[in-house]
Every structure is written in C-alpha cells, then in structure tokens.
C-alpha cells in the first residue's frame, strides 16, 4: 500500500469517527458550557469574557465522561441536562426508556420511591417542581389544577409551562425562551419547530417584557407640618 493510499484510509477512518463537543466553548463575547453529545448551550453559564471559563454542571461533566471515547454502549444511561445552568432535568428515564424517576437536579442522584414504569395515564411528581406525564413522548409537565397566584404577570399565557411542540417538515429545532412561573424567570428550552403554546419567545428580553410587570416608583410627598409660633 502506498503512502497516499494509507493517508486516504486514515482520513476516511477519521471522518467516520463520531465527533462530540468540548464541554466549554467560547466566542468573541464570552465562554459557556454545552452538552457533549448535542452541543446544546446552557445559556445562563455564559461568562462576560472569553478569557474566563464557566463552571459547568455535574450533568455536563457526566456527559463529558460518557462521550469521552466516542459512542457509549447502547445500555448506557444518558442524563438530560437543562438549558439554563446545565443542571439535571428533574425527571430522568433509563436507557431503555421503560422507567422514569425524579432526581436531585444538582447531583443527579435518584430520589427514593419515585421510580415508575412508563405507562398510559401515569403521572409522577418531582418534589415541588411539578407533575409529569409518563405516557407522552415529550414527557411534558402537567399542572394539578390552576397555578397558585403568587405574583401578578403581564399575560395569563405566562403561567403556561414550556411546551417543546412537535417536529415537522421544513422546521428545525431552535432555542426559545419561556416564562417559568415558579421561579419568575425566563428560561431557555429547545423548541422542535411546530405547535406548542403562547409561552414561547425568541429572546429572553421579549419574554421578560411580556410577562414581568414593570415596577413603578411611587414617591409620596408629605406636606410639612406647620409650626406654631408662640
């Protein structure tokens, strides 16, 4: 085999190897953490300078270890990380997608007595985060009634939970923001392209403008008391 043929074979072999993302990525404006297997950004990890590295979550570091040597075995549990700080999603499912369970969002440790088989009409509640359906491909969170009126919001739709929508022809998944009524913050999520609900915005600022009521400074002027003269 000639050197040229050897180089071609090596090049073709390298091209076929699965490629994954470094956990810390940087651009001109700063650095941020991403999931190793799909490159999804944890938007709230971004630093103000590309000379300052962010502190990535336990979930992102777990993905880094899992994909360090390429594709893991098919029975490997792949955790789901959120797109805010990269912490563990509160609901995780096993590698075979047969059982789901609640976890500590920081450590990823399974919470005792929460493991349930995925079945129709079955629900699972993860602490105070909410209830999740186990018969949906989206594993959407559902509400057990009307949300508690904690704070007023700009629109009633801001009380809706995030909805990833559906994959559809001609539309690509993208990052959108929803107003999280529990934390009173606008958080990033992956929108699949079609459907969903009205609690979905292109930017965090659009989300805040619609959902957070403006604070009005009220200054009260007290009339000066008249002094009596003797």
Could you read off the pLDDT of 88-116 as tens digits, one per residue?
Answer: 999 899 999 899 999 999 999 999 999 99
Residues 115, 169, single domain; the answer is no
Output the pTM of the full model. Answer: 0.57
- Return mean pLDDT, the chain: 78
Residue 65 resides in a domain: yes
Residue 2 resides in a domain: no
Residue 223 resides in a domain: no
Residue 48's alpha-carbon distances to 18, 23, 159, in angstroms, are 31, 17, 31
Residue 47 resides in a domain: yes
Q: Scanning the structure block, which residue is given the tokens 């990380």?
A: 81
Residue 7 resides in a domain: no
Percent of the chain with pLDDT over 70: 73
pLDDT at 136 over 80: no
Query: To the nearest 10°, the Cα dihedral for 105, 91, 123, 141?
Result: 90
> For the chain, how many structural domains are there in total?
3
pLDDT at 131 over 70: no
Residue 120 pLDDT grade (very low, low, confident, very high; cuts 50, 70, 90): confident
pLDDT in tens, 161-215: 889 899 888 888 888 888 887 767 788 888 889 999 999 999 888 998 888 875 4
Strand partners, 99: 117
Residue 178 resides in a domain: yes
15 vs 122, more confident: 122
Whole-number pLDDT of residue 181 = 78
Which structural domain range is residue 179 located in? 148-214
pLDDT in tens, 167-179: 888 888 888 888 8
Whole-number pLDDT of residue 134 = 61
Q: Which of 145, 170, 193 is the last residue of a domain?
A: 145
Residues 131, 187, single domain; the answer is no
Residue 60 resides in a domain: yes
């Amino acid at each position: 085999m000639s050197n040229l043929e050897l180089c071609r074979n090596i090049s073709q072999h390298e091209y076929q190897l699965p490629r994954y993302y470094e956990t810390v990525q940087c651009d001109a404006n700063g650095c941020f953490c991403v999931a190793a297997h799909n490159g999804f950004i944890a938007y709230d990890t971004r630093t103000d300078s590309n000379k300052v590295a962010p502190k990535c979550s336990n979930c992102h570091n777990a993905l880094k270890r899992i994909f360090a040597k390429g594709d893991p075995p098919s029975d490997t549990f792949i955790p789901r990380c959120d797109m805010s700080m990269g912490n563990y999603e509160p609901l995780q499912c096993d590698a075979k997608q047969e059982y789901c369970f609640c976890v500590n969002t920081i450590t990823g440790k399974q919470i005792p007595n929460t493991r349930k088989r995925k079945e129709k009409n079955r629900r699972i509640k993860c602490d105070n985060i909410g209830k999740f359906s186990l018969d949906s491909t989206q594993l959407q969170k559902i509400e057990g009634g009307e949300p508690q009126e904690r704070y007023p919001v700009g629109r009633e739709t801001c009380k809706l939970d995030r909805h990833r929508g559906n994959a559809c022809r001609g539309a690509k998944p993208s990052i959108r923001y929803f107003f999280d009524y529990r934390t009173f913050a606008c958080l990033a999520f992956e929108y699949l392209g079609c459907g969903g609900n009205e609690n979905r915005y292109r930017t965090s600022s659009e989300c805040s403008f619609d959902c957070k009521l403006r604070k009005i400074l009220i200054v009260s002027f007290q009339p000066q008391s008249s002094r009596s003269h003797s």
